[in-house]
């Protein structure tokens, strides 16, 4: 009887392994080809329209996907609004008053629901929107792996602890990315999304008034004009993250870091020492390598702990659980 018992155990293990592989395999660029063939073109049209109305929205949508994936995985938890059952991630410190683009994702979801109700997840729309946003402002294109499902919970505590902060040093940033399966090269590539968008005064005030050796003096003086020293005065005033071309996807962000013109402390530390300084140098000299690595790392980030198979739900609207 013992050999048969062993075979039975092995069989169970094989079945479990295959089931797990099938679950992982559900993320695929062709996931909606038969169930909603026009999903991607519908999302793309909606995102393009939003960015044509406000070019800054491209940066916001890429950031929104990033802030989703770093909390509970890429499950659209960041889109859930406060309710009697949900404590929203939108109220977490890294998101409150700065994360934006929720309405753009909701509008894309509304258009997709018209053609394929209950089929396409908000998590997949968010991942696709980030790619379409990159392309809309001259950035790289990549195949988005699809098949994620939406969470029924949010986790503001994890948002506060796991999302990188503008004041953090290199070791902490490396650890936070490593905890999500992303290495130093991924971190530098993804940080390159700061070639787009703007930051609020309170996030860079300490840096521009520090008189530090890692900030170009005239750059600090220029930024002080719209960011008073006193906390509370002009906290929400905006400055471009990329001094040169803030609305176009290019590699000027890395050139800024070499010139000590990174706006955020968490940006400038990338050029402070290894293992990241040489990658900054490489990307500053080779925009094609940066674009290729950015696309690769966005796909890799999109693989963080997705809900697939029978896990999660397909939300009818992105801001609330069905």
Q: Which residues contact 252 (CB under 8 A, 6 or more apart)?
A: 195, 242, 243, 244, 245
Q: Which DSSP state fits 150?
A: B
- Residue (of 135, 238, 242, 133) closest to 196 by Cα position: 242
Is residue 194 exposed (0-12), middle (13-18) or buried (19+ Cβ within 10 Å)?
Answer: buried
- The answer for 260, left when phi > 0, alpha when psi is -120 to 50, beta otherwise, is left
Which residue among the candidates 65, 67, 110, 311 is catalytic per the annotation? Answer: 67
Burial per residue of 64-73, b for 16 or more beta-carbon CB atoms within 10 angstroms, e otherwise: bbbbbbbbbb
Is 299 assigned to a binding site? no
Is 68 assigned to a binding site? yes
67 is catalytic: yes
Q: Which residues contact 301 (CB under 8 A, 6 or more apart)?
A: 65, 66, 69, 74, 180, 182, 186, 190
Is 242 assigned to a binding site? yes
Is 245 assigned to a binding site? yes
Is 33 assigned to a binding site? no
Is 195 assigned to a binding site? yes
Is 81 assigned to a binding site? no
Is 89 assigned to a binding site? yes
CA distance 43 to 120: 10
Is 77 assigned to a binding site? yes
Q: Which residues contact 143 (CB under 8 A, 6 or more apart)?
A: 29, 299
- Residue (of 277, 63, 251) closest to 170 by Cα position: 277
Residues written for the chain: 322
CA distance 215 to 221: 10
Is 213 assigned to a binding site? no
Is 45 assigned to a binding site? no
Please state the residue numbers annotated as binding site: 68, 71, 73, 75, 77, 89, 164, 194-195, 242, 245, 250
Catalytic sites, residue numbers: 67
Please state the residue numbers annotated as binding site for Ca(2+): 68, 71, 73, 75, 77, 89, 195, 242, 245, 250
Please state the residue numbers annotated as binding site for heme b: 194
Please state the residue numbers annotated as binding site for substrate: 164
């Amino acid at each position: 009887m013992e050999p048969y018992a062993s075979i039975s155990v092995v069989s169970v293990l094989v079945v479990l392994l295959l089931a797990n592989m099938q679950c992982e395999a559900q993320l695929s660029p062709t996931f909606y080809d038969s169930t909603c063939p026009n999903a991607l073109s519908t999302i793309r049209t909606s995102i393009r329209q939003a960015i044509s109305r406000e070019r800054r929205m491209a940066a916001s949508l890429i950031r929104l996907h990033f802030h989703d994936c770093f909390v509970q995985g890429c499950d659209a938890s960041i889109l859930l609004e406060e309710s009697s059952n949900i404590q929203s991630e939108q109220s977490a410190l890294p998101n409150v008053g700065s994360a934006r683009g929720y309405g753009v994702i909701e509008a894309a979801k509304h258009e997709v629901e018209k053609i394929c109700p209950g089929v396409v997840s908000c998590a997949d729309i968010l991942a696709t929107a980030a790619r379409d946003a990159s392309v809309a402002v001259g950035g790289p294109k990549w195949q988005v792996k699809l098949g994620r499902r939406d969470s029924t919970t949010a986790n503001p505590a994890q948002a506060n602890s796991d999302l990188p902060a503008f004041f953090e040093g290199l070791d902490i940033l490396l650890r936070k990315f490593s905890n999500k399966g992303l290495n130093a090269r991924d971190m530098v590539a993804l940080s390159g999304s700061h070639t787009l968008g703007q930051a609020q005064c309170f996030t860079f005030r300490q840096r521009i008034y520090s008189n530090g050796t890692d900030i170009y003096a005239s750059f600090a003086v220029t930024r002080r004009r719209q960011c008073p020293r006193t906390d509370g005065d002009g906290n929400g005033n905006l400055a471009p993250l990329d001094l040169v071309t803030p609305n176009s996807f290019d590699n000027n962000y890395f050139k800024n870091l070499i010139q000590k013109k990174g706006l955020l402390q968490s940006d400038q530390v990338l050029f402070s020492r290894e293992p990241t300084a040489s990658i900054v140098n490489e990307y500053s000299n080779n925009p094609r390598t940066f674009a290729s690595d950015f696309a690769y790392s966005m796909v890799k980030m999109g693989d963080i702990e997705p809900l697939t198979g029978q896990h999660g739900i397909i939300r009818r609207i992105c801001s609330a659980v069905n």
